[in-house]
Structures are given as C-alpha cells and as structure tokens.
Amino acid sequence: MFGNWIKTSILMAGIVALFGALGGMIGGQQGMLIALVFAGAMNVWAYWFSDKMVLKMYRAREVDASSSPYLYNMVRELAQRAGLPMPKVYVIDEAQPNAFATGRNPEHAAVAATTGIMQMLSERELRGVMAHELAHVKNRDILISTISATVAGAISSLAQFGMFFGGNDEDRPNPIVSIILMILAPLAGMLIQMAISRTREFGADRGGAEISGDPNALADALAKIDAYARGIPMNTAERHPETAQMMIMNPLSGGGLKGLFSTHPATEERIARLRAMA
C-alpha cells in the first residue's frame, strides 16, 4: 500500500510538472507560473466540488434505510467492518452494471450503484463490489483520481491553446519542437492519469476483499460485470469519459487501442490476483 502511494505521488508530480512546462512553452516564465497557479486552483476546486458535480451528472438519487434497505444496510455493515464513517448512498438509474465512490475524504464520502448492478449480481457479489468502493474511500483514491483527471483535461486544453498562441520567440524553443511537444503533452497527461487509475484499482480490489472477507465474491462479480457491461451502453459516461476511471469497470465502448488507453487493468489479471488471495 505504501509503495502505491509513492508511485501515485510521483505520477501526480509528473502531471503537474507537465502542465507547468506547457505553460512555459506558451508564455515563458510568466506562463509557467500562471499555469502552475491555475493547476493549483483546479485542484482546490476538485477537492471541494467534484463529488457533487459527478453525482449530479449521473442523476444519482440518495437513498436511506427506508427507501433502499437492501443496499443501505449492506453498505453500513461493510463501513463498520472497514472502520469508516457511514457514507452517503446513492442509486443511479442505469442498466449497465457499475458502481463508483466519490468524496474528498472518508468523512465526506458517497458510494453509488446502478440499478443494473443491483439486479444482476447476487447479494454476495454486490457485497464484494461495495467493499471495493469503500476501499477506494479508505485509501482516498477518488480524490487523487479526480485531481489527476482535472489536470490532465486542462493539459489538453492548454496544448490546443498553445498551437495558436504563445509568447515571443525569446520565451519559446524551436517552433517545430514546440508543436511536437504540444501534440505529445496531452497524450502523456492521459497516460499518466490512466497509470494512476490502474495502480489504485489493484489496491482497491485487495482492500475490498479484505473488508468483505471474501475475495472470490469480488472476483465473481468482476467476471459477471465484464461479460455484460460491454454490451450495455452508459450514455452519461460516453459524454463525460473523464469519469470512466471512477467506475469499478470501464463503462466506455472501446476501439483498437482500448487496452493502451483503458483506465482499468485487465479484468483477467484482477480476477487472478483475487483468486490468489482466496
């Protein structure tokens, strides 16, 4: 776990440095300073408001022990096992089986499950999934992923701006080099973001298995979700692909480079690690 935190910290430092470097290309030292200040401001915004934005985006509705006793009581029992405060619980009216967690810290956390995953999985399997999401909360993964996604998106926008505007010739390197870097920078930011997400997903699988006490339950759930999720579109995720990394399974329809640009590790590898734990 400690090794994962070191790796994530290095990756986060890399993505912020990349943002600052792009700002320097566009506007020299002043541009770099502005870019780093902007990156810091975005991180502050993501810290306080990203959870509310994502829940509203997916039209999630909060439930309690009266409106959804099955899910709510399951999350409450798992939160107690994990030593976590009770998070808010949400249901999303989507046919695709999926789930995610959000929040800036365990005291301000929320977990959400689609109606599809509640209908498709057995109680034992759903318990494994919700334990996985609570492991994300315990490890503060969602805050890290949200901040990296915010900065990665800003890198792409800044690079596009830099293709048309920039500082004077003394501030910038060779124009051809600048163009190449501005094309590659968004790609690098995307790959860093995805590396962060993949690293944290393995940790949440292990943590979720420990919380539930049943690694095979989560492994069975992942196999079932993977088999069905690909054929059931989730339109909100397709419109906002930056949120894909939050889900327990990649909700996006993929192309030929899906493996390279996936925010999640290969399902087969995740299942194999869980089977080994059992």
Q: Which amino acids are annotated catalytic?
A: 133
Q: Which residues pair with 114 in a beta bridge?
A: 92
**DSSP-derived pairing of the beta strands 99-103 and 88-92:** unpaired
CB atoms closer than 10 angstroms to residue 156: 15
Q: Which residues pair with 89 in a beta bridge?
A: 63, 111
What contacts 24+ positions apart, CB below 8 Å, involve 105-109? 105/140, 105/143, 106/137, 106/138, 106/140, 108/51, 109/84, 109/85, 109/137, 109/142
**Which residues are within 8 A (CB) of 50 and not within 5 positions of it... i.e. 6 or more apart?**
102, 104, 146, 150
Element containing residue 276 per DSSP (H, E):
helix 267-277
Count of residues making up the chain: 278
**DSSP-derived pairing of the beta strands 109-114 and 88-92:** parallel
Q: From CA 78, how far away is CA 115, in angstroms rounded?
A: 20
**Which residues are within 8 A (CB) of 171 and not within 5 positions of it... i.e. 6 or more apart?**
24, 27, 28, 29, 31
Q: From CA 181, how far away is CA 188, in angstroms rounded?
A: 10
Angle at alpha carbon of residue 43, lines to 41 and 44, rounded to 5°: 65
Q: Which residues pair with 103 in a beta bridge?
A: 109
